[in-house]
Each structure stands twice: as C-alpha cells, then as structure tokens.
Structure 1
C-alpha cells in the first residue's frame, strides 16, 4: 500500500496469490504495534494483535529536518538492473504472514557472514510465521530463523539454515556519508525478486522522520537517518545503500510517496551494525528482542466487550488452544492483573518469555468465571 503522500514503507505486503495490497509500514513505517500473543481477525476487528492485517494505505507522514540539511545537487537517475558487483552479498526476503498464509511480504537483506547471518529491517520480517531468503548471487533459497530484532530502531538479524560459502557485503568504516555524496540503493524493487540499482545523492544526514504506523493507529519515528534523492521503492527495505567504492553506508528503510521526486531514507550502517552486534551477542533490552516473542495464541474479536478481551478464536498448536480457550470466552486477567483491552493483554504477554506459564482468568460463553494455566509458545516475529 502506498501510504499517502508522506513517508511510505518499502516492504511489500500482499494477499496470498501475489496481489499487492500495500507497503508494510516501515518503522519509518513499520513498527506496527503488533501484539505478541494475540491477533485480530480481519473481519472482526481492527486492532494490532498478533498478526498485522494490511491496511488501506491512507496514512501519511512527514520528515523533519536533521542537523545537516545541506542542499547538495541531486544526481537521481532511473533505476537499472543491478550489476554482479552490486548484487554481491544482497538477498531477497519473502515472508508468510499469519498462520493461515493469508498474506505475504517481500523485502531485501544483506549477508554479513559467509554462514548466513543476514541484516535487514525489522518491518520486513515483522509478523512473519515463515521466512525464505534467496541468495541473488547463486539463486539458492534458504529458510531463515530470527536471531533477534529491534522494532524501535527497525533492525533485525536472521540466520539462514544450512548456509555456507556465501558472498558478503562490505561495510564502510570511514564514517557516515556527507551531503552531496553519490550513493546507490540496491533492492528487491516491487518485490519481483530481481535486484535493481538506483543511483542518487545524499541530500541530508541525521534526519528524523515520523509516519503513521502500519495499522494506522498512531505515529512512529526513526532518528538519525540519511536522506537520499534516489528512486527507492517498495521492496527495497533492508537493502544496501552503497557509496562510490561499493561499500555499504546505509540500509534503505523508507521513502516518500505521491510525488514525482522520491526522497529515500536509510539507517546509517554504523547504527545498524551496532544494533546487530548486540543482537548477535544475545543482549536483550527495552528495544531488543532475542529470538521470537512469547505468544498466547488467541485471536481477538473487534466486538466491544465489557470487563475483558473477547476471544474470536485460537491458533492451532498455541498455548491458548492447548489450554482449552475457545471463541466466545472473554479474557479478564493475566496472572491476577486485570486486562480490559487488547493493548493491556498484549503488554501482559510481552513481559514474558517463550516457555513461561501464565494464569489466564476468563469467563466462558455462559458467564462462568474460570482460570487456566497457559504455556506461552514462540510467536510470529516481533
């Protein structure tokens, strides 16, 4: 979905079968406030629980000036097929969203190690129940696991299963680019699986942008970004922004939409690398989640409910399903603390880890108050 005329996400989200529904809001448009443990059914609710339902693309956002808003001359050129050198270490990413595979998403990533450590945007894999990565140098496909993610800063690290001998990207270590520098974005443009290179120039650094979240429920921000005049489009998220020496200086994250001249935004590679190193070291924090988040496994109804959160269904194999929760139940508490909304339920689950046991208080369809112990399983990517 194109998000109005403001800042648009660059990861494509579509319905199964390939029909493009929109752009997954990157944290620049995409740190959707996905709940880690519940999900809203498309037909019965509009919340952000569990799985992200593609929105209608009507949101909008705007960028704000950073500390270096120089007025360098734009060198934006039409995008062309990426060369072999530009493809080196770049992968395309395809994900399945929702346990019923009703939606799919596509983006880009960078190979950090020859055995398959991948750097990408969090919003590229957010809500994924299955991730497939293709090495565009060899054409080989791999299944990928989530090592960890930082939704606030829109960074994620994946590990490919059974990978070895992969070509890697070369990260720049000379510091961030300057206004006027020529750069090239390489990405899975429009999610076609074909890498495209778009040359442009740095128009500003240290930029802060604010956009509407993927679900349209609020605004989110990213700070310290590189602003680029280049033909950066949906599907490019997580891909490299290369300097004139072919080294990675940034990770494409967002772009303007609704105007003839595209303004793209990239996370400086020094920032992304620093976060990736913390993830690889297993250092969880208030923003970093290691592995997959804890998951209750209930589908939340959008129907108003007094005194709790109405359950529309459960995910097969989840803790909620195994514990016997069913559609028609209303969850009233977690570990004795009342939950009156899906947001409160989400927060309660987010404070736990996979494997934790929680006591769920609920009323069944007859109004009888009950409690049950639920073991939290691993949910979709955070």
Structure 2
C-alpha cells in the first residue's frame, strides 16, 4: 500500500413477437376505424394496468458483503530481489484477468496469486499497466472458472455513502474488511510507495475513512450492495509515527484515517484499454523493456534525461552509456526530459532495436543502436 500526503483542495462536499402482434392489432383498429360512419358507437377504452413500483435494493449485512466479495478476490505476492510485496487483486474474468495496483507489482521479477475461493495458486503474467495512475492488469496461468466481481458505478457515489474496503491487510493472506464512509470525491493526493519511497501524484480519487492498510492495495472498495466502486490504493495506518530514538515516550494517539481509492469507472476503462492492447503515453502493454538506466531531468541549462545510474551488463552499458551522460535522442525523436524517455519506453517492448543519442561527460554527442532487454514492470 502507498501512504499519503493530504491535498487540502476539496470540491464543495435490459419484443420480438409480442411487439409485432401489438403492432398488427393497432393497425387493424385503424383500418376498422376508417370504415365507421357518423353515429357509430364509441369504442370503450382499454384500461392499462399500472406499472408495479420499483423495489429498492436492500443493503447487505457485513457478513453478506464478505460472502459475496471475498470469493472474487486473489492475494498477490510480488518478488523483487530480496523484497516481497503483498497485495490484493479483483477478478474481472473467469479465466483469470485480474485488476490491481501497479505499485503492488512494481519491479517484480516473479508474481503469483492465490484465489481466495479455493486456495489455488497461479503464476501471474503482466498484461499491461499505467504506473502514473497506479493500475495494472494481470492474467493468472491455469485459471478457468473463477468467480468474477460485481462492478458498480463510482459515478453514483455520494458523500457519506457507506463503503467497505476488503483485502489482504498486512499481507497475512486472510481477507479482512474495513468499513467506512465516502468523505470526498475527485481528490488529489501524493502517494509514497512504502517499499522504495517513490512518490506518485494521483488525481480524481475517492477519499474514505475506512482503515486501508498495507496488503489491501489493489483490493475492492465496495458499496452497501457488495458492488465494487473503487480500487484501494493509498492510506495511512490511523496512528501517529513512533517517537524518534531518545525522544520522550508518548502515547501513540489515533489520528483521522485518510484512505484513497481509484474510481472503478476509471480503473475498468484503463483495464479495457490494456486488454485491447492499446498503448499510450502512460499505458504500457505487455512485458517491460529494459534500457538499463535510471535518469532524472538534466540541468536548466541543458535539456535531456541525465543518467544517474547504469545497470551492469544492461543494453545501455554495452553501448557505452555512463553515469553523468545525458540522453538527448531516441529513435530519431528528441529527448528533452526524463518524462520524454519514459513515454518512449512505454511504446517499446523487449527485443526492439532503437537508436540512442547522448552527450557524454566531455560534451561529445554519441549515438549507438541497441536492442532492449527484458525488465521488471
């Protein structure tokens, strides 16, 4: 799960034959009517039965919500070097297409999922992701008949609507529920990845006071009828930080819970785009290509993506890119910032050949053709 830094800006708070028969009857009446003369008796009106009043759906009890939702979830374990990240996934299709957060699988070299309906364990492949909006779509190997989640509409949410976050809280592999209410919509928040400290600006979020915890990430936020209305993404732990070593002991007082979820309307739209294989500036499809550099924006006096680290044996290192060099061209396109390089990488796949241009530490422009390797998402 990602922790949050609060953004204080808030908005002010289902006929064929029957239709044909009816149509024929109406036409017959019209023909007869045209032959009636003056003084003919008036045909009696045919009473139309009143429509039955719509029956409002009945909210479910907490136990009923869990019984409906939990079988449609998986727990996720992602291994990246010595680190293992636990998260949750929402089953979208019976053959194992799963929706989760990108930060749950970020950097992972091995991803597996356990179906809560029967405890079956499945290797997972990444179909695609949008790391800027923290959405990833996986496919589970060997899954054929998993129950699928019932999806609601986040556009129908209102302030104070009751919701429940369900997920692999604290990574224990046991689903837990956290009830709460909607306290904000269309919120913006800066989320920090608890694993590596990286930050990501998220917008259009649902804010809730449900206590979303590490491991809940990628799990469903559901309404009172057990319909998924959001994807749990970020939150605090509801407690103040532990005092620094040497500081006077204090009681860890509870603080207001701030948790955030991606609206399900947005998440499913991204999932559909990924499943359709439609890449964009932020959406990457399929396995991740590897150049082998970490970059930041160059200085104000120079445009480009400055290399701050080069992976040993990576494609970049093999063609002579070194720390401190500035990447300025990619496949004939100019690179003016680190974001430009990210956009270019999003459109590529392992095995693609690209022409790279960079300025070395002596100020000389260098070019080389290289083949991208396979990297982690």
Task: Render the CA deviation track for 1:181-215: whole Å, top value 9, x for unaligned.
Answer: 222110111112211011122223x2312215546
Q: 2:82 aligns with which of 97, 102, 115?
A: 102
What is the aligned residue count? 305
Task: Determine the structure 2 residue equivalent to 1:221.
Answer: 202
1:22-41 equivalences under 5 Å are 24=2
CA drift at 1:296: 0.8
Q: How is 1:237-248 mapped onto 2 (pairs within 5 angstroms)?
A: 237-248=217-228
> What residue number does 1:260 align with?
255
- Residue 378 of structure 1: how far off its partner (Å): 3.1
**Alignment partner of 1:123 is 2:103:** yes
Unpaired stretches in structure 1, ≥5 consecutive residues:
1-9, 11-23, 30-59, 70-78
- 1:329-358 per-residue CA deviation (whole Å, 9 max, x = no partner) reads 957654578879877765664564433212
Counterpart CA distance in 2 for 1:371 and 1:237 is 42
CA distance in 2, matches of 1:281, 1:350: 16
Aligned residue in 2 for 1:66: 11
CA distance in 2, matches of 1:220, 1:274: 19
Q: 2:271 aligns to what SS in structure 1? A: helix
Query: What's the CA shift for 1:380?
Result: 1.6
Q: State how far apart, in whole Å, the 2-side matches of 1:212 and 1:182 are.
A: 24
Please tell me whether the aligned partners of residues 297 and 319 of structure 1 are also in contact (alpha carbons under 8 angstroms).
Answer: yes
Given the alignment of the two structures, is residue 309 of structure 1 paired with residue 307 of structure 2, yes or no?
yes
In the alignment, is the contact (CA less than 8 A) between 1:313 and 1:326 conserved in 2? no
| Structure-2 separation of matches of 1:154 and 1:341 | 21
* Mapping of residues 1-382 of structure 1, within 5 Å: 10=1, 24=2, 60-67=5-12, 69=13, 83-97=66-80, 101-173=81-153, 175-204=155-184, 206-211=185-190, 213-214=192-193, 220-223=201-204, 225-257=205-237, 258=240, 259-298=254-293, 309=307, 312-314=310-312, 318-320=314-316, 323=318, 334-335=329-330, 349-350=345-346, 352-360=348-356, 372-381=368-377
| Distance of 1:375 and 1:174 partners within structure 2 | 43
User: Does the 8 Å contact 2:208/2:258 carry over to 1?
Assistant: yes
Rounded to whole Å, the distance in 2 between the matches of 1:363 and 1:173 is 50
The structure having more radius of gyration, on CA atoms, is: 2
Output the TM-score relative to the length of structure 1.
Answer: 0.67
- Pick the structure with more helix per residue: 2
Equivalent position SS for 1:128: coil
> With CA pairs under 8 Å and 6+ residues apart, which has the higher RCO, 1 or 2?
1
Tell me, in whole angstroms, the C-alpha distance in 1 between the residues paired with 2:261 and 2:323: 45
Gaps of 5+ in 2: 14-61, 241-253
TM-score, length-scaled by structure 2: 0.68
2-structure distance, mates of 1:249, 1:338: 41
Shift of 1:157: 1.0
